[in-house]
């Protein structure tokens, strides 16, 4: 097995949790800050966020993408957050080249950076001086199709691009519970989270893709796919199938909502 080139950017999946994390200083946001400091500075960032779950494959093309406040019921201070990172015409073209022509990749001028992206980046790169492009999560594709599509993005890492997935491997807001201790966490959420932690470094790709086969734990942990699918985009950047070994680490872990939301972060490389 060969080691990955040292110049290759890592690929990172982060559990973003509540939008309020954008304003808070806690164990998760500090973990995101520390993670960014430990990595080479990316040339650009390609973000795959759970909150752009739409029909079709789209890529943002705005020169100055807007900060989208895609939520309600939160304090005014959160709605006032701006993340004025530039876009990147070069990265848009490169993503379109790698993914197209099948499927066709649509240029999108209207979408910007949703909170799945900027609530992380305000802590990772607070200067907002690195170009950011978002790639949609196509609601028409199966998990395996998403994984296979994401594999085509691997060259970006050797070009200095950070592939950033934003979602949660466990995300069930219907069961969200306040104030539970670590001993009271939902056992299904903990088991599924641990299953992910074991499967990623072992290279058990089929188990990660076919999460719906995990019985009741999988059904409760991933009742809808949009927060899980960005995780597959990051896992697909792992090059074990090319005979290249890369370290897999979990720089952040923990639970919110009594175990109904996993804050697990996965770093490839």
Contacts of 24-28 with C-beta under 8 Å, sequence gap 24+, read 27/252, 27/254, 28/252, 28/254, 28/263
Is pLDDT of 57 > 60?
yes
Upper half-sphere CA count for residue 111 (Cβ side, 13 Å): 27
pTM score of the predicted model: 0.95
**Tell me, what's the pLDDT at 4?**
53
Tell me the mean pLDDT in the region 143-162. 98
- The model's pLDDT over 177-194, given as tens digits with 9 standing for 90+, comes to 877 766 689 999 999 999
Q: In CATH, what number is assigned to the domain containing residue 127?
A: 3.40.830.10
What range defines the domain where residue 255 resides?
Answer: 2-268
- The model's pLDDT over 11-44, given as tens digits with 9 standing for 90+, comes to 999 999 999 999 999 999 999 999 999 999 999 9
Q: Which two tokens stand for residue 141?
A: 């594709």
With cut-offs at 50, 70 and 90, classify the pLDDT of residue 1: very low
Give CA–CA dist 101/213, Å, rounded: 32
What does the radius of gyration of the chain's CA atoms come to, in whole angstroms?
Answer: 17
Number of domains comprising the chain: 1
């Amino acid at each position: 097995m060969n080691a990955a080139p040292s110049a290759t950017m890592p690929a990172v999946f982060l559990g973003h949790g509540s939008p309020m994390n954008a304003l808070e200083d806690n164990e998760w946001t500090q973990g995101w800050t520390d993670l960014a400091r430990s990595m080479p500075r990316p040339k650009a960032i390609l973000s795959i966020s759970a909150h752009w779950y739409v029909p079709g494959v789209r890529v943002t093309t705005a020169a100055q993408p807007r900060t989208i406040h895609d939520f309600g019921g939160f304090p005014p201070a959160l709605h006032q957050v701006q993340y004025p990172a530039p876009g990147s015409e070069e990265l848009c073209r490169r993503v379109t080249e790698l993914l197209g022509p099948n499927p066709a990749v649509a240029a999108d001028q209207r979408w910007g950076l949703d909170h799945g992206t900027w609530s992380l980046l305000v802590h990772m790169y607070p200067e907002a001086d690195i170009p950011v492009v978002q790639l949609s999560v196509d609601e028409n594709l199966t998990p395996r199709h998403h994984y296979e599509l994401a594999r085509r993005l691997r060259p970006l890492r050797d070009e200095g691009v950070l592939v950033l997935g934003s979602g949660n491997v466990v995300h069930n807001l219907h069961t969200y519970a306040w104030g539970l201790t670590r001993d009271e966490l939902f056992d299904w959420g903990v088991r599924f989270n641990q299953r992910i932690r074991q499967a990623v470094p072992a290279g058990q790709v089929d188990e990660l893709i076919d999460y719906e086969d995990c019985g009741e734990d999988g059904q409760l942990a991933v009742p809808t796919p949009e927060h899980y699918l960005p995780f597959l985009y990051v896992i697909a950047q792992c090059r074990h199938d090319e005979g290249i070994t890369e370290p897999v680490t979990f720089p952040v872990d923990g639970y919110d909502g009594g175990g109904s939301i996993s804050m697990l972060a996965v770093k490839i490389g």
